A and B are shown apart, each in its own frame.
Chain A
Amino acid sequence: MAMTGVLRPGFIQMRVMDMEASKEHYINRIGLHQVMEGDDGRVYLKAADEFDHHSIVLRKADNAGCDYFAFKVYDEATLDAYKKRIEDYGIEVDDVRAGEQPGIGRRISFVVPSGHRIELYATCEHSDPKPGINNSHIWSVEPHGMRARRFDHALFYGPNIDKVQEFFETVLDFRTPEQVDLPDGGLLGIWMTCGMKAHDIAFVNHPEPGKFHHVSFELENWNDVGRAADIITNYDISIDIGPTRHGITYGQTIYFFDPSGNRCEVFAGGYTYYPDLPTRKWDMDNVGKAIFYYERQLNEAFLSVVT
């Protein structure tokens, strides 16, 4: 077993403008479960197929977007080692006390050159519902809504993508399974992984720092993507595009918006990445196929609509 550094996406904290409508969206439509509501009003959600305490945090605010994205690392010593490496690289690290979020140990928090706040933590309680361990069924509770199985990844928009890639690769030990090159030698986007998924976090070049493009949940299969599309129309959820496929990662996907305008994705599939594989590259003449494989062109919203 080779994975010992950053293990996986842990949780993401989203800003929402209407908490009740957002709970309806993420719980009843996407299929998550509420773990608890904090004293400060933040709502903690998870998928039933996740062991960890929560994976989505909703915070009421007067604008939309993402506060931060936290990754779980192997253990406390790993967390200390990353803190030193991040500081040695020249990025300031803030400590966040254990319990600032229920069920989560101490975190370290820092801002990457695209303006996004990223966090790492090592310790996390489990919560219900979660998969069984002994002779268990495939469900602990019957799946509902879009039947999301896990919080999978997010895509962010901001400047200095080349520096972001260097930081994630050299300091956090991520790799880049896939990227889109600009004609001038720069990068339009990078899809990076800490493990064997085709991506755990992605960035697209954008003039404004700290912007959020989408949060993504994994479904079991392509049929469930179709069922998600039925739910989206049935409940008059704002659609962006799909069902379609990404050339990048191969994911079968649909994009839609939460009640505050944050883009959500549910998807199935995607290839397996190994650390010895090359970075797959796309050029701008083929970016349409890279992003939306069936339409073979970007929709207007892909590059301009962010929160």
Chain B
Amino acid sequence: MNEQRFNIDVENINAEFCGSSTGYADERVLISLERAQGFGKLKNLPKRLPVGCRRGGCGICRARILEGNYKRDPMSREYVTLEDEKEGLVLLCAIYPLSDLKVRLEPKCVKNLEVNSQSLEI
């Protein structure tokens, strides 16, 4: 593992600060955040961290990069269009930090999640 470490700060949708984590240079940002959540460092998130496939396919970890540089794996065009990409939208499981990062969760599937959790009352 590349031991170079970066800070990853997470805001929620209303820009309220939610917590931070340390990520390794060759580690998917979502994995770093999952580890931080495991240590109780993301406890102010309004919901649990959205984690799905961890491989850029399901779109659940969609987020906006507010500051910082990263490199990327392929991510589903269904959830990050070319226009989204220009605006700085990514799937957190498909990017790796090249500097400290500031990110804001912007899941595209929030609507579906709500429909499902309502019909299921879970």
Give me the interface of A with B, judged by CB distance under 8 Å: 17-18, 62-65, 182, 188, 205-208, 238, 257-263, 284, 287, 298, 300-301, 303-307
Contact = CB atoms under 8 A, between A and B. Distances in A.
Contact of A62 (B77, B117, B122): B77
B120 interface: yes
Q: Which of B57, B74, B121, B122 has most chain A Cβ within 10 Å?
A: B57
Contacts of B78: 63-65
B57 A63 contact: yes
Contacts of A18: 73-74
B120 A238 contact: no
Contacts, number: 86
Nearest to A285: B121
Contacts of B113: 304
Contacts of B115: 207
Interface of B: 48, 51-58, 60, 73-79, 109, 111-113, 115-117, 119-122
Contact of A298 (B55, B79, B112, B122): B122
Contacts of B73: 18
What is the interface of chain B mostly: helix, strand, loop, or mixed? loop
B47 to A, nearest CB: 9
A205 B58 CA distance: 17
B112 A307 contact: no
Nearest to A304: B113
A206 B53 contact: no
B58 A261 contact: yes
Given A18-B74, A301-B60, 20 more contacts: A17-B57, A17-B74, A17-B75, A17-B76, A63-B77, A64-B58, A64-B78, A182-B119, A188-B120, A207-B116, A208-B112, A260-B55, A260-B76, A261-B76, A303-B116, A303-B117, A304-B60, A304-B109, A307-B53, A307-B76
Given A206-B116, A207-B115, A208-B112, A17 B52 contact: no
B48 A300 contact: yes
A261 B57 contact: yes
A120 B55 CA distance: 31
Nearest to A307: B57
